[in-house]
Amino acid sequence: MPRPKSFDEGVVLQKAVELFWKQGYNTTSMQNLVDHLGINRASIYDTYGGKEELFHKAFEHYRQENQQKLRAFLDSQSSVRKGLEKLFMMSINTCVADKDRKGCFVVNCATESLPNNAKMVKILSSNQESMEQFFMDYVNRGKKQGEITENKDAKAIAAFLFTLYSGLNVIAKVNPTTEHLQQVVQTGLAVLD
């Protein structure tokens, strides 16, 4: 009879996200994981299958949690334009407050693992598709509410918003100043005019 787990798998996944986010996949060792997660090596292998499997599960945990929060936030906004502006301003505030300048976990994973990791290419492509679909649905909501003119290409704008959202996190690693990032966002959101 297998022993019951003495740890919360969700908490462990969140801790794994934090470590992989700060150090990257390649520089995180199994010993780093054991020390940071507070569980033994055997438990990591038994529960997650190893470092790579733990990374993929942690990444998926982060991605789902992040998309749920994003959807809940934007769905709660009555104005699409104001909702997007608030979303980007929240992102700026997070970037500026991050003393480690970690950037975006998804972007970091992309730059560290692509193009040589076919599994991550597939995962990151799926993430991009779902984020762009989400932004496209939101832009279409703005059209229905009369905030965005009907002739705007929602698909193209969604791809641009995803790129802006991702790129903002990269630029913030280099120049995390609120004023500069706000100028970038204001210029970018002019695509809605």
Q: 16, 6, 4, 92: which is closest to 49 by C-alpha?
A: 16
Per the CB < 8 A criterion, the answer to whether 107 and 95 are in contact is no
So where are the chain's domains?
1-61, 77-192
Q: 65, 67, 2, 57: which is closest to 33 by C-alpha?
A: 57
CATH of domain 77-192: 1.10.357.10
Per-residue pLDDT at 3 exceeds 70: no
Distance (Å, whole) CA 27 – CA 110:
15
Say if domain 1-61 classifies as CATH 1.10.10.60. yes
The mean pLDDT of 68-91, rounded to a whole number, is 94
Domain 1-61 matches domain 77-192 at the CATH topology level:
no
Q: 92, 85, 120: which is closest to 106 by C-alpha?
A: 120
Top pLDDT among 8 and 186 is at: 186
Render pLDDT for 152-166 as a digit per residue (tens, 0 to 9). Answer: 999 999 999 999 999
Q: Which long-range CB contacts under 8 A does 53-57 form with residues at least 24 apart?
A: 54/16, 55/16, 55/20, 55/25, 56/119, 56/123, 57/13, 57/16
Residue 108 has, within 13 A of its CA and on its CB side, a CA count of 23
Q: What does pTM read for this prediction?
A: 0.87
